[in-house]
Amino acid sequence: MLQLNKVTHVYPNGTRALEDVTLSIPKGMFGLLGPNGAGKSTLMRTVATLQTPTQGEIRFGDIDILADPESLRERLGYLPQDFGVYPRVSAYDMLDHMAVLKGVASAADRKVTVETLLNQTNLWDVRKKAIAGFSGGMRQRFGIAQALIGNPELIIVDEPTAGLDPEERNRFLNLLAEIGENVVIILSTHIVEDVADLCPNMAVIANGRIQLEGAPLDLIGKTKGTIWSKTIKREELDDYRAKYEVISTRLFAGSTIIHILSSDNPDNGFAAVDGGLEDVYFSTLAATRRKPATASQAA
Question: For every one of its 299 residues, what pLDDT tens digit does the chain have, with 9 covering 90 and above?
Answer: 999 999 999 999 988 999 999 999 999 999 999 998 889 989 999 999 999 999 999 999 999 999 999 999 989 999 887 776 677 889 999 999 989 988 888 899 999 999 999 998 889 999 999 988 888 888 888 988 888 898 899 999 988 887 778 888 888 888 888 887 789 999 998 889 889 888 999 999 999 999 999 999 999 998 888 999 999 998 999 999 999 999 999 888 888 999 999 989 999 999 999 888 999 999 998 888 776 544 444 45
214 alpha carbon, distance to own chain's centre: 15
What is the structure's pLDDT at 94?
Answer: 92
DSSP string, 7-25: EEEE-TTS-EEEEEEEEEE
Q: Which helix (H) or strand (E) holds 247?
A: strand 246-252
Number of H helices, E strands in the chain: 10, 14
Report the C-alpha gap between 16 and 10 in whole angstroms. Answer: 4
> Which residues, 6+ apart, have CB-to-CB distance to 159 below 8 Å?
40, 41, 81, 188, 189, 190
Residue 230: phi and psi, rounded to 5, are -155, 145
1 alpha carbon, distance to own chain's centre: 18
Q: Are 90 and 127 in contact (CB under 8 A)?
A: yes
What is the structure's pLDDT at 115?
Answer: 94
Q: What end-to-end distance do the CA atoms of the chain give, in Å?
A: 25
* Alpha-carbon dihedral angle through residues 134, 130, 159, 214, given to the nearest 10 degrees: 100
**Where in 39-108 does DSSP place strands (E)?**
55-60, 63-64, 76-79
